[in-house]
Amino acid sequence: MRILLYLLAAATFSACQESGKQQEKKEELKEGVEKIGQDVKETAKDAGDYLDEQRKKVRDDLQERKDEIDLKMKELKKDGSEKSTKARKQLLELRDQINRELEDVKNSSASTWEETRRGADTLLKKSDREWTEFKQEFKDLFQ
């Protein structure tokens, strides 16, 4: 009987020891999961910050071009000639395209950002080309 009591005490002691180890493992696992969760949050925040930075850059580039066009349109309005009216009309079309693209950039989500960015880049290249052609065609208005 005494041996049985010792064996039972030893088994209980072993079971308690194993439970403590299991508890330690659970706590380690819980800490690991919390760390992973924190890392995911930080990564998402970093990705969001990157997206915001990219949006701001594209918005600033588009806005800069729009401001150039607005300034030139204001100057051409003073001229009043037929040629300046034609030039203003072309600039107005380009400015409207830029306004639409600015709205797309402002309203883009993370999932649509790459497509929106490509559209903005294409428009900026197109507007660079058109701006250069415009200055060549209406070079007498730029003096």
Measured CA to CA, the distance from residue 26 to residue 6 in angstroms comes to: 30
The answer to whether 103 touches 92, Cβ cutoff 8 Å, is no
The answer to whether residue 67 scores a pLDDT higher than 80 is yes
Number of structural domains (the chain) is 1
Residue 14's pLDDT is 62
| Residues 131, 2: Cα–Cα separation, whole Å | 101
**pLDDT, tens digit, for every residue of 4-48?**
555 555 555 565 555 667 777 777 777 776 777 677 667 767 667
Tell me which residue range forms the domain holding 90: 2-142
Indicate whether this model's pTM tops 0.85.
Answer: no
**Do 70 and 37 meet the contact criterion of CB atoms below 8 Å apart?**
no
Query: What φ, ψ does residue 109 adopt, rounded to 5°?
Result: -100, 175
Given 3-state DSSP classes, what are the helix, strand and coil percentages for the chain, each rounded to the nearest 5?
A: 95, 0, 5
Q: Which two tokens stand for residue 59?
A: 């918005």
